[in-house]
Every structure is written in C-alpha cells, then in structure tokens.
Structure 1
Amino acid sequence: MMRMEPFSQLLIAAARQHLRMRKKKCLSPSASLNLAGEIFAVAAGLKPAFLYDYTPAGISQIVSYIQELQNISQLGGRLHILSIAENVFLINLETMQLWLEMVLQKNTVFFVDVAASKTCPGFCEPEDVDFIKGHLVEILCHVKAQATDTSQILSSSPAISTECNLCTLFGVLLGFPAAYSFPAQKSFENCLSLVPLRVFTIQATFCKISNDFRVRFYSFSVPESLYPVMKTDLSMWCENLQNAFKTQKYFADLSISTEVVTQVAVTL
C-alpha cells in the first residue's frame, strides 16, 4: 500500500472538500490523486486540456477545487475552465493556443473517418477536414480572447455552441494526434468493430506524490491499417511530448507504449 505523504493528504482533502456531491460518496484517495495528477499535467504543458469526468460537480465547485490546488502547490501556466455542451475542460491557455495553431497551420492531426456506412476506416475527405477546422478556428479565437485577460491565473467562460462532432472536437482539444470523425447527427455507430487498432498509452510517475504512483496522460488509438502512413507524424508527436516532459518538475519516468487490440464493439 502506498504511504500517504503530507502533500498527498492535502490533495485528497481538497477533492473531498470541494468536489463532494450531496448524498454521493467522495472520491477515493487514488481517484483524488489521479485527478490532481491530470490537472498538474495540464498546468505543466504536457497536454493542452483535461476533460473533467470524475463527478457531476458544477463549474463553481471545480473552480474552487483548482484554486485550492493552486494554494497547495503553485501551478504553472494560465489555466481556464471551458464548458462545451455540458462538458467541462480545464485548459492551459498558452499550450492550447499553440496546439490549435499547429493543427490549423501544419495539419498535425489526422482526421479518421469511421462512419458506420464505411466498410473500413479511412482518412476524412478534404471538405470534411475543412468543416472541422472551421469550428477549431472559432475555439482558437475564443481561447485567444480569454488569454488577453491577464488579471487572473484561473478563469472560466460559458459554453461554446458547436455543430461539430464532439468526439472529433474533444480528440483535438485533448491533444491527440489523431481524431475519429463520423456523422453523429445520423448515428453514433462506427465501422471499428473487429478492426485492429493500435492503442497508445502515455503515463508517468507523479513524483510529488510517490515514486510508485503513476498517472496516465493520454490514451488514444489509430487503425492499424492506417498506421504506416501516420507513423512518422506520430513519432514526431511523441518526440515533442518527450521534449516538453524535460522542462517540467512534477513527473518522472515517462512511458509511451503501444499495443494492437481488436474489439467486437468500440464506443467513441
């Protein structure tokens, strides 16, 4: 069993104080520490955003919780809470701006069409990519507008309405080098059933907690049939992450692993 250090106890207490729901159990110690780890990863610029899905906490609760983390340990980066279609993201304004600019200008994300009507996954058509990028431009403008207000180290903004497939949009915002696309207005089904997928898992030791406690930063997949075309760019993405990892102090022992899996059904 992991020995609880004072810093760990402060993180657990912060989650229990600010994120507890009425008549609901509070987060377990391990979930509390993992949540803190993901937030520290965003603050350190290791990922542009984190999607909060631990409890049905409201934005005001999440704001007070992150403010408590800032009091416990000075978080780096300008943080912002952004809500999209009732989903809450914590974003690093600087990292997100740079990431979206790269996606729009240098095509650093592969958009993979997995519509149920297709016999196998393939790359999106140019017009579909342009449609997705149009919504990303709107979000980039919103992020830039929030970044101009330097009076707060933590800010929040109301929901952005978007007609873009949220699965695709969220994949980009979370910093994945590949995002799945399908006509969500017609169906949420896809053509990934029994398709070999190469799954990438990126994690590291949260050394401010313990030399044994690891936090997963990223988990995403790409169709194995498309991997040869994507391999060089995915390797560059991993290299950029490794370089960013060298500039932070919260985590150690970065691990990037892959495995090929096949599932009867894939939920996106």
Structure 2
Amino acid sequence: MSTPSPQLLVAAAQQTLGMGKRKGPSRAICLHLAGEVLAVARGLKPAVLYDYNCAGALALQSYLEELQRLGLLSPGLHILEIGEDCLIVSPKHACQHLQQVLHGTVALVDVSSSQPYPSLCSLDQLQDLKVFVAEITMHLQELQRDLSLGVCPSRLHSSDWNLCTVFGLLLGYPVSYTFHLNQGSDNCLALTPLRVFTAHTSWLPGQPPVLLYSFSVPENLFPNLRHILNAWEKDLRTRFRTQDDFADLCITSEIVTVPAVAL
C-alpha cells in the first residue's frame, strides 16, 4: 500500500482527534502516531497506548477509519478500552504475545515497595494476573473472528487489574514490572541502575525515527534476563524482515539511575 503524504496524515489526526475547539495533536505527534499504528498493523508491536490527549474510543475509531480511507491501513486493528485508557491493538499479534506470556517466555519483575530490591517472579506466583491475561487473550481471540465488522471499540472490566503490568504485556515488552496493589503505586526502583532498551526505525523521509519500544530492566537482573531479551530482539528482527514500510531498525540500551521511577 502506498504511504499518504505527511500533510494528509497530519490532517487525518487533527480532524479526528481534536477536542472540541482545541486543535488536535501537533504535526510531530500526528506523524509519529501514524508510524506507531502502521507498526502495529505490520506486526512489529502488538499495540500502542494512546496518551496524547483525552480523545476517546470513538475518536480513535474515526482516526483508524480515515487511515484506511487514505490507504495506509488494511482492516484488522481494534480499539481496546481498559479503565480510562485506549489501546490500538492488533488482535492477532497481541494474542501471539500473550500466549508467550502464558507459556512463561516473558519475564515479570516484582518491584513492590516492600522489597529492598527488584526480583524476578513467575506468572504462577501471580494467579490473579494469570487469570487476567487468559481473559484478555480470550477476548482478543473472539475479536479475530469479527474483524470483518470493521473498526469497533470494545471494553474490558479492569477494576482489580494492575494496569502497569497489563499494559506492559499488551505493548509487547519482553520484561514487565509488577507490584502489590495493596501497597500503593510506590516501588523499589529509586536509585536502582536500570538498563533502558529502545528500538527505533525510520519511516518517512526527512522525519524523526518512529519509536517502537522503550522499556527498562534492573541492571542487577540483566544477566538472568539476557536470554529473554536476546529472544525478543531476534523475534523483532525476524518480523522486521517481513515488511518493507520501515527501514534501519536500531536497538540500543543505556544504563540510567534516577531518584524516582513512575510506573
């Protein structure tokens, strides 16, 4: 499929995602969002979390329909409402990733504030989360049977969910943080050296690269997580070779230490 001009991509976002009399997202955000959505459609990431303004599911539905009309997307994406947030999801690729979660090939790191330092944990130790992942997987499997209906949003009940963990899993991170909700949202990552991974790719000529992934792992756990991270990178590079919209995949990491980490 041909790529619409940047002007058309910007107009599509600003006309559908603007809030009342307010202008829609900036030109840079519009182009980056279109790149992220295309990356979801091409299987380079299972979902993107929309957090640029307060545009809701119906506005995002109009946005995806406009991108389809412009020829950027084929039908197949879905808008998933969880709590107050909306994700643009590829049900097929999100299901694939969540199946890996259920099979234990995605790592979970407990960063509860009651702990002196982060520690690895398994999905079997977090039965509630395991139930949530199975529920989301079943929901997405049902959606795959109804993609002929076009773009339509759906909502999942989430009052008992750790959304930090759920979003990390849905966004395709090979390592996701979790913590005990009864201890609040504080965590034990303050002043902990973190290895931050980013994956960028070029798309539109003359425009900044599209950020595909950005996540971190505690540096002290990196040796234990290396095999999972290597498998994630290998899989991403394999998926990347199956498409020709993006070029120059670049995966980097750096170690940072900050006084506080918001999850």
Give TM-score, length-normalised by structure 2: 0.94
- What displacement does 1:259 show? 0.2
Could you tell which deviates more after superposition, 67-76 or 53-62?
67-76
**How many angstroms apart in 1 are the aligned matches of 2:261 and 2:147?**
42
2:173 partner amino acid: F
Aligned to 1:65: 63
Could you tell which deviates more after superposition, 16-25 or 83-92?
16-25
The equivalences for 1:55-134 within 5 A come to 55-76=53-74, 78-105=76-103, 107-124=104-121, 127-134=124-131
2:190 partner amino acid: S
**How many angstroms apart in 1 are the aligned matches of 2:21 and 2:148?**
37
Change (3 A) 1:6 1:163: closer
The Cα offsets for residues 150-205 of structure 1, whole Å up to 9 and x where unpaired, read as 42242321233352211011100000001111112331100001000000000100
**How many angstroms apart in 2 are the aligned matches of 1:188 and 1:158?**
24
Aligned to 2:19: 21
Q: Which runs of 5+ in 1 are unaligned?
A: none
Could you tell which deviates more after superposition, 233-242 or 177-186?
177-186
- What displacement does 1:77 show? 6.1
**How many angstroms apart in 1 are the aligned matches of 2:174 and 2:152?**
27
Three-state SS of the structure 2 residue aligned to 1:225 is helix
Change (3 A) 1:102 1:261: same
The Cα offsets for residues 16-42 of structure 1, whole Å up to 9 and x where unpaired, read as 111111243321111110111111110
Q: Is the 8 A contact 1:81 1:157 kept in 2?
A: yes
Say how many residue pairs are matched: 261
Question: Are positions 1:267 and 2:262 aligned together?
Answer: yes
**How many angstroms apart in 1 are the aligned matches of 2:179 and 2:107?**
14
**How many angstroms apart in 2 are the aligned matches of 1:76 and 1:108?**
30
Aligned to 1:160: 157
Three-state SS of the structure 1 residue aligned to 2:212 is strand
Aligned to 1:34: 32
Percent of aligned pairs sharing the same letter: 43
- What displacement does 1:131 show? 2.8
**How many angstroms apart in 1 are the aligned matches of 2:75 and 2:109?**
31
Q: Is the 8 A contact 1:124 1:181 kept in 2?
A: no
The equivalences for 1:194-209 within 5 A come to 194-206=191-203, 209=204
- What displacement does 1:216 show? 0.2
Aligned to 2:166: 169
- What displacement does 1:129 show? 3.1
Aligned to 1:48: 46
Q: Is the 8 A contact 2:47 2:94 kept in 1?
A: yes
- What displacement does 1:76 show? 4.2
Change (3 A) 1:219 1:57: same
**How many angstroms apart in 2 are the aligned matches of 1:43 and 1:77?**
9
1:152 partner amino acid: L
**How many angstroms apart in 1 are the aligned matches of 2:105 and 2:151?**
28
**How many angstroms apart in 2 are the aligned matches of 1:247 and 1:173?**
21
Equivalent residue in structure 2 for 1:230, among 207, 222, 225? 225
1:231 partner amino acid: R
- What displacement does 1:242 show? 0.4
Q: Is the 8 A contact 1:79 1:92 kept in 2?
A: yes
**How many angstroms apart in 1 are the aligned matches of 2:163 and 2:100?**
20
The Cα offsets for residues 109-135 of structure 1, whole Å up to 9 and x where unpaired, read as 111010111111001266533331211
- What displacement does 1:6 show? 6.3
Could you tell which deviates more after superposition, 179-188 or 72-81?
72-81
Equivalent residue in structure 2 for 1:242, among 224, 232, 237? 237
Q: Pairwise CA RMSD of aligned residues?
A: 1.6
- What displacement does 1:212 show? 4.2
Change (3 A) 1:212 1:158: closer
